[in-house]
Amino acid sequence: MALLDVRNLSVAFETGDGRVDAVKDITLSIETGQCMGIVGESGSGKSQTFMALMGLLARNGTASGSAKFNGQEMLNVPAVEANKVRGADVAMIFQDPLTALTPHLTVGQQMSEVLEVHKNMKGAAAKRLCLDWLDRVRIPEGAARFDQYPHQLSGGMRQRVMIAMAMLCKPKLLIADEPTTALDVTVQADVLDLMKNLQEEEQTAIALITHDMGVVARMCDTVAVMRHGQYVEEGAVETLFHAPQHDYTRMLLDAMPRIDAPTEAATEVDAERILDVQDVEVNFDIRVNKGLFGKTIPLRAVDGVSFDLARKETLGIVGESGCGKSTLARAVLQLIPPSAGKVLWMGQNLTGLGRPQMAAHRKNLQIVFQDPLASLNPRMTIAASIAEPLLTFQPALSAKERTAKVAEMMERVGLDQRMINRYPHELSGGQNQRVGIARAMINRPELVVCDEAVSALDVSIQAQIIRLLKDLQADMGLSMMFISHDLSVVRDISHRIMVLYLGRVVEMADRDEIYQNPVHPYTQSLISAVPIPDPRVEKTRQRIKLPGELPSPLDPGAGLRFLPSKRRVDPGYRPALMEVSPGHWVAEHESFEAIVQAEERRLAG
Amino acid sequence: MALNPQASGMDDVVEAMNLTEVQGRSLWADARARFVRNKAAMFASILLLALLAFSVLGGFLTEYDKETVDFTLMGANAYKGVPSMETGHFFGTDASGRDLYARVVQGTRISIMVGIVGAIVAVVVGTLYGATAGYFGGRLDGIMMRTVDVLMSIPFMFVLIIMLVVFGRSIFMLFLGIGLISWLDMARIARGQTLSIKNKEFVEVAHAIGVHPLRIILRHIVPNLAGIVIVYATLLVPQLIIFESFISFLGLGVQEPNTSLGALISEGAANMSNGTPWQLTYPLIFFVLTIFAFFFVGDGLRDALDPKDR
């Protein structure tokens, strides 16, 4: 008998605009010790299916059908009955580990609470079990972490605490709702490894809800693809990936950029260098509470970065959160004044220019942001937003000419002209991002910075937007700086790639060179952490793992993690960039073994 | 046109588009729909419109005006000046024998005007002041907001009373005094909201595009402040009416023969022992109705414009 047996589950919501059927007639079953992936794009009902099982539907939602866990009905039963199963036999972890943990309780208090409620276990015995689990989810210094508050832990650490909490009662089923979506790629790999191990050791079944085909390929035994609240296709992971039956599954797999796949040939790049960034630094003053009044210490968000950019070229900038990639982009556009260094645009230094002088250059320097909805003024129609740069730089245009230009641009970015009077909240994320792109492109700029421009979008939309950006680049001959944490996406679009680590460049090379022949251990670990949407490849791939957590940028000497011998003698040393082959620059580092040894020595104290 | 084929092509595009373009549903339209669904707010709006109509047009319904003393009632106010349809004194007469109905019409008009003028000053001055301080931040923000703090710490009732005594009582002085006070709170509210709006990405985009700072404030920040500003303004109106009534109650404020609801209530309260309760009742009813209507409309607007609803 299956561990979880769901029959004809439907979920509907009563909203102001009428009834919405979120889940329609789903039947699924999970066996003991099995990992099942539920894949779908946003709005496909994949989360609501499991929210209904856990009795966590919003108040306007109703569920019908049946869901038996170990033969016991879970759906629409009184809370008292359901609570016996929830938390003890079925546990759930969520996407954002910060909001899922109560901020004013320590890790230990929250973990002990679970034991007290479900096992009536208190005091020293409870603490022992908690510490044991903190250790098993590989949290270093578990005893110290036990008394810390959630905000004192990093994102990956918090997600591990969530997993430890979920595992305390040895649940038979763990529901993981996008457990790694908010995490950096190396942290994601660690958390996935951990879940895989738990599944094997404890024979816990896992229901993994995700939009990432790569994660599915790494983790799951069976997969169900959902769309519009219905199953599109389900089956063993191998068959689904290698012989997908449904068009939608095939489309999802094709849309997912692969880090190992051959990419289409890069477009031609002009020889003319239009942007030259020299030793740019951005320091923020951070207040620390030391002494009576506290003091400020500089945080080097960008610490001496140099690069140049040719016309028609796309430079990909990758790195984990906090590495300074967005700050660097803003410093180049002078949205944040750099603390030191020069930004030469067409040979002219932009740093220190006043607002009026800078305004003249802004026509050619545009930016597209991550969150499409937040980057549009909610009170303005999308046409008014797109027309904004025209008003600034071509004020002589008549209203009619402006409308015509906007309509033309909308058509160009694939928006229906009839939507000209629409407001951002009426559009989907992908459409809003097209509006953002249209606004950036309408004055035919020379340089467009895309700051995580596709990160918030569904995979299929992501592929369309990248296609659009490439087309526009070919049409208009513009240069791009493409910032992303997603290495597969960056590979798809860039000519050259720059890897940042704590505000410094660790490696910079042509796209194919850097992915096929990464030299720096950090680049190697990043690339090997990216999941590949192919179960056969995933099962044989070896990960290059750096020990320890991503250090805090405030930690002096953190930048010398890859140069441990210097770290001891000269914490202020900056690793120099060396050209290992033409156009391939790598920061000074020591051998992988030396770094691992030094890191382990440090962790041991 | 023929000389410029590109331009005529553009015209064609525009014309073709006009035929088919879809009207968007703005946040305002959504808010309006929510407001219309709110029965209490709709009732209050209708009541408010009725009160406005009464204060403007009510004077045409009576043969009396607000200042003519009816000498036939001299000394017989308590039994001859009673509200009656026959004599035409619908609400009776006041202690001096003047028609109370005409005076209530005029008093309501003054009270609503005081509230609305004060609210307009608050909206215009307060919003722009607060948005400017919040957007530019830094030292300018410090200077501007400390100025507001200093002004707020002055006991304004006292200053207003001195102003009215020194410069004489006039409607202009009253409006000036109320205008001076009313924008201070609004400036603080607008600044606080601006601080959160200016960190939104669409403001950063506008900055990156090269939009002039003043245009950013007017086009991107102020419209997004509008929701909270409107709500605060509708709640400010009744406060100002009460404020004016208090001034008039003290005998300052509006000058005879003009009157306001506060002055009428004051007179009515003074004559309560003379057996003329209508002199208090009618002004009080209109006062309470006006305040209630404004508060309910304000509440309805707050619910309708609250972004948490979406």
Rounded Cα gap, residues A1 and A10, in angstroms? 22
A104 vs B: CB within 8 A:
no
Q: Are A275 and A479 in contact (CB under 8 A)?
A: yes
Q: Which residues pair with A316 in a beta bridge?
A: A482, A497
CA distance A321 to chain B (A): 18
Instruction: Tell me which of B18, B37, B201 to substitute to probe the interface with A (most A C-beta atoms closer than 10 Å).
Output: B201
pLDDT of residue A483: 92
| Strand, helix or coil for residue A214 | helix
Q: Which of A264-268, A399-403, B200-204 has the lowest mean pLDDT?
A: A264-268
CB–CB of B211 and A423 under 8 A? Answer: no
CB–CB of A439 and B205 under 8 A? Answer: yes
- Block means of pLDDT (10 residues each) for chain B, length 310 residues? 42 46 68 82 91 84 74 68 71 77 87 86 90 90 92 83 80 80 89 88 86 88 85 84 82 77 83 80 89 87 64
What is the greatest pairwise CA distance in chain A? Answer: 77
Q: Which of A103-107, A120-124, A298-302, B302-306 has the lowest mean pLDDT?
A: B302-306
Rounded Cα gap, residues B283 and B279, in angstroms? 7
| Strand, helix or coil for residue A223 | strand
Instruction: Tell me which of A333, A379, A423 to substitute to probe the interface with B (most B C-beta atoms closer than 10 Å).
Output: A379
CB–CB of B14 and A404 under 8 A? Answer: yes
B-chain CB neighbours of A367 within 8 Å are 204-205, 208
- Highest-confidence range of A317-331, A468-482, A560-574, by mean pLDDT? A468-482
**Mean per-residue pLDDT, A520-531:** 88
Within 307-336 of A, beta carbons closer than 8 Å to B belong to: 333, 335
Q: How confident is the model at residue A450 (pLDDT cuts 50, 70, 90)?
A: very high
A-chain CB neighbours of B204 within 8 Å are 335, 367, 369, 375
Please give the backbone phi and psi of residue B19, each rounded to the nearest 5 degrees, phi first. -65, -35
B19 vs A: CB within 8 A:
no
Number of Cβ within a 10 Å radius of residue A288:
10
Residue A379, token pair as written in the block: 């009170």
A403 vs B: CB within 8 A:
yes
Q: State whether the Cα torsion B191-B197-B202-B205 is positive or negative.
A: positive
Within 15-44 of A, beta carbons closer than 8 Å to B belong to: none
pLDDT of residue B236: 87
What is the greatest pairwise CA distance in chain B? Answer: 89
Size of interface A-B (CB pairs under 8 A): 104
Q: Locate tokens 């060179």: which residue?
A: A513
CB–CB of A393 and B10 under 8 A? Answer: no
pLDDT tens by residue, A7-24: 888 888 887 667 888 888
pLDDT tens by residue, A336-355: 889 889 999 988 898 888 88
A544 vs B: CB within 8 A:
no
pLDDT at A603 > cutoff 80? no
Of B20, B22, B201, the CB nearest to A422: B22
Return the closest-CA partner of residue A39 out of A292, A248, A261.
Answer: A248
**Mean per-residue pLDDT, A154-174:** 84
Contacts (Cβ under 8 Å, ≥6 apart) of B194 = B130, B131, B133, B134, B135, B221, B225
B-chain CB neighbours of A407 within 8 Å are 13-14, 17
Return the closest-CA partner of residue A518 out of A259, A280, A308, A286.
Answer: A259
Residue A213, token pair as written in the block: 């085909």
A-chain CB neighbours of B206 within 8 Å are 377, 388
CA distance B305 to chain A (A): 12
CB–CB of A417 and B21 under 8 A? Answer: yes
Return the closest-CA partner of residue B84 out of B69, B67, B64.
Answer: B64
Rounded Cα gap, residues A166 and B73, in angstroms? 87
Nearest chain A residue to B309, by CA: A16
pLDDT of residue A153: 79
pLDDT at A570 > cutoff 80? no
CB–CB of A388 and B24 under 8 A? Answer: no
Q: Are A324 and A499 in contact (CB under 8 A)?
A: no
Q: Which residues pair with A564 in a beta bridge?
A: none
B-chain CB neighbours of A377 within 8 Å are 202, 206, 219-220, 223-224
Of B21, B202, B213, the CB nearest to A420: B21
DSSP states of A483-521 as a string?
EES-HHHHHHH-SEEEEEETTEEEEEEEHHHHHHS--SH
Please give the backbone phi and psi of residue A74, each rounded to the nearest 5 degrees, phi first. -110, -20
CB–CB of A374 and B20 under 8 A? Answer: no
A433 vs B: CB within 8 A:
no
CB–CB of B205 and A420 under 8 A? Answer: no
pLDDT tens by residue, A186-207: 888 888 888 888 888 888 899 9
B-chain CB neighbours of A379 within 8 Å are 26-27, 223-224, 226
Within 264-283 of A, beta carbons closer than 8 Å to B belong to: none
**Mean per-residue pLDDT, A246-251:** 88
Pairing of strands A340-345, A273-288: antiparallel
Within 90-109 of B, beta carbons closer than 8 Å to A belong to: none
pLDDT of residue B187: 92
pTM: 0.79
Return the closest-CA partner of residue A211 out of A455, A417, A475, A549.
Answer: A455
CA dihedral A241→A245→A249→A250, nearest 10 degrees, is 80
Residue B12, CB-side half-sphere exposure with 13 Å CA sphere: 8
Of A377, A404, A418, the CB nearest to B13: A404
* Residue percentage of chain A with pLDDT more than 90: 13
pLDDT tens by residue, A414-449: 888 888 888 888 888 888 899 999 999 998 899 999
CB–CB of A419 and B22 under 8 A? Answer: yes
Nearest chain A residue to B14, by CA: A404
- Highest-confidence range of A50-59, A583-592, B82-91, by mean pLDDT? A583-592
Of A371, A417, A423, the CB nearest to B24: A423
CB–CB of A367 and B208 under 8 A? Answer: yes
Instruction: Tell me which of A326, A335, A377 to substitute to probe the interface with B (most B C-beta atoms closer than 10 Å).
Output: A377
CB–CB of B211 and A376 under 8 A? Answer: no
Q: Which residues pair with A340 in a beta bridge?
A: A281
pLDDT of residue B17: 45
CB–CB of B207 and A335 under 8 A? Answer: yes
Within 197-256 of B, beta carbons closer than 8 Å to A belong to: 200-202, 204-213, 219-220, 223-224, 226
Higher pLDDT pick, B6 / A377 = A377
CA distance B205 to chain A (A): 7
CA distance B16 to chain A (A): 10
Instruction: Tell me which of B205, B305, B309 to substitute to probe the interface with A (most A C-beta atoms closer than 10 Å).
Output: B205
Of B13, B206, B224, the CB nearest to A388: B206
B11 vs A: CB within 8 A:
yes
CB–CB of B201 and A380 under 8 A? Answer: no
Model ipTM?
0.74
Nearest chain A residue to B212, by CA: A392
Number of Cβ within a 10 Å radius of residue A411:
13
Show the CA angle centred on residue B278, arms to residues B243 and B247, nearest 5°: 15
A359 vs B: CB within 8 A:
yes
Contacts (Cβ under 8 Å, ≥6 apart) of A504 = A303, A304, A305, A559, A574, A575, A587
CB–CB of B13 and A408 under 8 A? Answer: yes
